[in-house]
């Protein structure tokens, strides 16, 4: 799988220039590049059936790579609000702070919640940095219907860029298939993501 765009929404302080970010960005890039389909190949080929492929197996493959190869913690519970905003897909400890990663598998409303959850963590000083992984508009038609995607979220970037924080970093990684091929199997919801790494 490939990353077609990286966007920095918030960068206050020195994190973006740090060795920590350089390492984390490399780990995220590597984990995404390790996602292949069909299993055993060296690239990510998707069947171009409209809404024919589940997102969760793709996410699961990335999470497995982050955990097994780079030591990230998965499904981290965070309490920084009066009501818990839910678990974070993957986190990495940096000194006494967390870097949070969310991989979008829901609709556009879910994408907004994911960004808001990470921005709240930045505002509360729980996260030093955070990133969201979103599909591009090119892969969107072949994934679960109405999946949140970069192009739908982009008009709201100015809202998050306007957030006043003392220190923090928020980035978006936009992902896409390498190839289309109607002869490869679709990624059904029951596909085991471990097979895709």
CATH architecture of 2-196: 3-Layer(aba) Sandwich (3.40)
Angstrom distance (rounded) from CA 88 to CA 124: 15
- Return d(Cα 179, Cα 76) in angstroms, integer: 33
- pLDDT given at position 98: 93
Domain positions in the chain are 2-196
Q: Which residues of the chain have pLDDT under 70?
A: 81-83, 189-197
Give the pLDDT of residue 191. Answer: 53
Query: Which pLDDT score, from 0 to 100, does residue 88 have?
Result: 93
Instruction: Give the predicted TM-score (pTM) of the model.
Output: 0.92
Among 16, 104, 152, 167, the one annotated catalytic:
104
For residue 16, indicate whether it is catalytic: no
From residue 79, give the alpha-carbon distance in Å to each of 42, 75, 87, 89.
Answer: 39, 13, 9, 14
Give the Cα separation of 30 and 167 in Å (integer).
26
């Amino acid at each position: 799988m490939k990353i077609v765009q990286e966007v920095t929404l918030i960068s206050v302080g020195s994190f973006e220039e740090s060795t920590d970010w350089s390492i984390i960005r490399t780990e995220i890039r590597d984990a995404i590049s390790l996602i292949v389909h069909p299993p055993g190949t060296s690239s990510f080929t998707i069947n171009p059936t409209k809404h024919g492929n589940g997102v969760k197996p793709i996410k699961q493959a990335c999470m497995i790579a982050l955990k097994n190869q780079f030591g990230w913690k998965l499904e981290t519970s965070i309490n920084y609000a009066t009501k818990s905003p839910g678990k974070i897909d993957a986190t990495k400890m940096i000194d006494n702070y967390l870097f949070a990663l969310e991989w979008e598998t829901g609709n556009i409303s879910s994408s907004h919640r994911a960004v808001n959850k990470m921005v709240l963590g930045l505002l509360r000083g729980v996260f030093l940095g955070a990133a969201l992984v979103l599909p591009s508009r090119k892969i969107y038609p072949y994934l679960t219907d109405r999946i949140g995607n970069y192009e739908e979220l982009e008009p709201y970037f100015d809202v998050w860029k306007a957030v006043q924080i003392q220190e923090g970093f928020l980035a978006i990684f936009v992902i896409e298939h390498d190839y289309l091929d109607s002869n490869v199997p679709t990624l059904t919801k029951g596909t085991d993501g471990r097979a895709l790494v």
